A and B are shown apart, each in its own frame.
Chain A
Amino acid sequence: MLRDITIGQYYPVDSVIHRLDPRVKLAGTMVFLISLFVTSKLPAYLLATGVLFGLIRLSRVPFRFITKGLKAIMILLVISVSFNLFLTTGTPIFRIGFLQITWEGISLAVFMGVRLIYLVLASSLMTLTTTPNQLTDGLEKGLGFLNRFSVPVHEIAMMMSIALRFIPILIEETDKIMKAQTARGADFESGNLIQKAKAMVPLLVPLFLSAFRRAADLAMAMEARCYHGGAGRTKMKPLHYEKRDKNAYLLMAVYFALMAASRFLPF
């Protein structure tokens, strides 16, 4: 169950996508996400689908790794799709009590579902092909201009990288505590909702304690190494763009232009 969470889990193979500059991948993910919301035309979605699956192929990450992230949003997906399905007004198809399904509802629900799924797939693709370190490096450099507006970019990036770094650690920790309590006869699966919630206490208390302990240890270790925030800090491996990165930006622009242009399609 816990192995289903893919955020912050890097899949180590070598591919074009892996080699891209993290800023390109961040920008690309943003562009892709926005592009899904600028249009609701079918051809545009076919294009987006093609691009997404093409990129997944290029990345050489097995497809089932990318779809693992979907399990986590299953409930959200079901809720938002059914809300759209049942609560949209328009041309009714049939109704049960106060619930009615309309053509508009179906189309909204489908778009909503597809958008959510693509959103998760695209961000999973990014995190699976980019190490957390690269990711925050990319963020820090990419958003560096915000420093001028006294936004503490470095500190935010550092917090992000720590948070990302902690995800697998906490998952592992949860797994460990869960096993330890299972060895003491705990049962996390059966029972009704209240029993299940109660069964979580022996898991959550030790987990929170360990999270705080780890945070305190990390803060101490950072101070011991004279960490004092971003001012004056230099990089061992500064980011710089290669030719492929520039090409990627170009393709991104073309893709986005196409997506935006699809708004003016007559159907």
Chain B
Amino acid sequence: MSIRCEKLTHIYQQGTVMESYALRDISFEIQDGEFIGLIGHTGSGKSTLIQHLNGLMRPSSGTVYFNGEDIFAQGYDLRKLRGQVGLVFQYPEYQLFEETVLADVKYGPKNMGLSEQEAEERAREALELSGLQPEFYARSPFELSGGQKRRAAIAGVLAMGPQVLILDEPTAGLDPKGRDELLETVSDLHKRRHTTIILVSHSMEDVARYADRIMVLNEGNLQYFDTPRRVFRYFRELEKMGLSAPQITYLMQELRDEGIDVDPSIGTIEEAREEILSLYWSQGGPLAAGADSGTEAGRGLGESSAATGK
């Protein structure tokens, strides 16, 4: 069970003066149950890439294998694939159209050929997973707030019961609280249902916190595909691509430059806190103060870096 891309290339407007490469020879494999962060500058080909994964776009050359089968082969059931590889577009709330939230969420399962009753069950389950309160189910989707609309729209994809969920910048335009809640929901889904997640994002902080592996696209090329820590080691290269490592990585880097022996590839505040604390203890722990205040100091450090992070 996996998604495998082989030498995927996509050329826009091939054969005209406006011809341009959106993707160039991209090959990778994503295992079942992985949480992948997809990062890249605007126009790096992220959206194009994810649209190939569920067969919405056809590659100019190369192909995609889902569970070992070539999805662009003749006779492959693309509609079924779209139920298995759920794709949530950017600003998904703009695709809502039904009279009630519930009816809208049922649209996907009904397209899959499920009965009215099954579709309703799926829809309710998906809405619950998406974290939308039941009092909104019977309301018009256009009456909801931005964050609620987005949850309803995501539920619309979840209701199809995908094994792989691709989210294109799901937190764009949400406030910090909405963003954190939504990412928690996604992470929860990953843990509870073992859904493979591909999260497209600009924010290194978000990706570092949740992703098992990070995929970095640059001008249509797959630049890095590795664990967050290994990718963050290339923070100077990332900067050249118009990206950056998480703020905390920079802090760790500075600490290291100051001669303090910390791992500079750390990407989350929690990891940084552990690293600093373990260093603190290994160097003799509390010298002047007690053990408690030592922890305090570590926490203090962690929090001040959190402040720079935000």
Contact = CB atoms under 8 A, between A and B. Distances in A.
A187 B79 contact: yes
Query: Chain A binding site: helix, strand, loop or mixed by DSSP?
Result: helix
A15 to B, nearest CB: 12
Interface residues of B, number: 25
Given A184-B111, A184-B157, A185-B112, A177 B95 contact: yes
A184 B56 contact: no
Interface stretch (A109-117, A201-209, A251-259): A201-209
Contacts, number: 59
Interface stretch (B26-34, B81-89, B176-184, B260-268): B81-89
A183 B81 CA distance: 9
A230 B72 CA distance: 54
Interface string A200-240: 01100110011000000000000000000000000000000
Interface string B18-38: 100000000000000000000
B92 A180 contact: yes
Contacts of A11: 17
Contact of B108 (A62, A179, A185, A201): A185
B76 interface: no
Given A179-B51, A179-B56, A185 B95 contact: no
B156 interface: yes
A89 interface: no
A183 B17 contact: no
A205 B95 CA distance: 8
Given A185-B82, A185-B83, A185-B160, A180 B17 contact: no
Contacts of B157: 183-184
Contacts of A183: 54, 56, 82, 86-87, 89, 157
Contacts of B92: 180
A13 B111 CA distance: 44
Nearest to B109: A185
A176 interface: yes
Interface of A: 11-13, 62, 65, 176-177, 179-187, 201-202, 205-206, 209-210
